[in-house]
Chains A and B, each alone.
Chain A
Amino acid sequence: MKAGSNLERILKSGQFAITAEFVPPATGDRELIERQALYFKGHVDAANVADNMGAVVGAASCAVSKVLLDLGLEPIMSLVTRDRNRIALQSDLLGASLLGIRNVFCTTGDHQKFGDHPEALNVYDIDSVQLVNAVRGLSDSGKLLGGAGCDKVGSFFVGAAADPFGEPADLMILCLGQKVRAGADFIQSQPVFDLEKFGHWVRLAREEGLIEKCSILATVMPLRSAREARAIHEERRGVEVSRDVMTRLEGVLEPEQAQEGLKICAEQMQALKEMKGVQGIHIMSAGREEVIPELIKKSGLETARAKG
């Protein structure tokens, strides 16, 4: 145990973890954050607090993570390299340490073209792999990228993203390997709608010896409708909805598609739980946090934490 977070304890002890994406709205209203947290607290082991997800402005992940901590909900603070350079990112990490945040999740972030400020200048001073490496350096030896040392920095449990569905597959494994070698403790994948393809990726990762070095969490996303499934399939690159899922959604009337989407998602969660090499589930509810408790219940994967 380095970081001492709940998530670390669960994953390191070989238990199955459930996390979910907490997307902070563009608000200065603490109550709003607290209300949103009710859908997570007692249901998931930790919540990923998004950092301006989709390049849309939301309350700072660092601050929201602290609010969640206060509520007794363990945060995984996201950091993207799109908006801040290495100075600001490391400063945020120190701030997180001060606030008692123990999990961080490092990604490059969606390009600002897709957000609410497409005219913004991006930063990309460092990339996600280098950020993982920076967190590691700070966490393990109290060293900043510039070489200076810092006192009493808490240890972090570090996460990164991976794309199991990109082509070619061996390049995707190479990318995963880079993140693991940079020091990622856990990986949350792109949303999985195609279990077979995902299983293949996990197998490849295992063959490369990467599974022993970090925990893989499969991301699931409950689909609201056949239309949404098609849109995601067509517009969101890196995400593929399988033919089976599409057929099932199309097979029920539109008002019932959301329920069917939840059902499909819950079944996928069960299947992923059984998949060798998968150590947890990450739920991306895409703005529908209210379905999280029901989804987890349907999947039968209520965590020990929730029961207690």
Chain B
Amino acid sequence: MSENFEPRIVAFCCQYCSYAAADLAGSMRLSYPPNVKVVLVPCTGRVDPLHILRTIEDGADGVCVAGCLEGDCHFLEGNFKARKRVAYVQRILNEAGVEDARVRMFNIAASDGPGFAEAARMMTETIRALGPNPLSTKTEKMTEEL
């Protein structure tokens, strides 16, 4: 595993909460790892298992889905659906031989800039410990399987 590995993480953030929280973290000038690339979604209920799988397939080292606090979803239960779908994708990744910890669900309130920064740090640390997406490193996967 390379010493200077910088994880690439995609975060699907709900516009009503986590996206605002990410914004707030910026305004508050809180530092958090630049590894997390934010994708705006209208609700985490819009995140399809296929979005997450394709993101991993295309080389992201980690994916997080960040929705509202449970009970606070603007669409009532979008974040609950997202939680189940994340768990479903984790099972599929397990079956396919990829660590399920690369995919994770967070719940962050719009007012919680520090919470977003903390989630970004946590996710980056997790992925740093796991190493690069096994699909994007040819040499490693060959030696591991053989």
Q: Do chains A and B touch in the complex (CB under 8 A)?
A: no
Q: Which residues of A contact B (CB under 8 A)?
A: none
Q: Which residues of B contact A (CB under 8 A)?
A: none
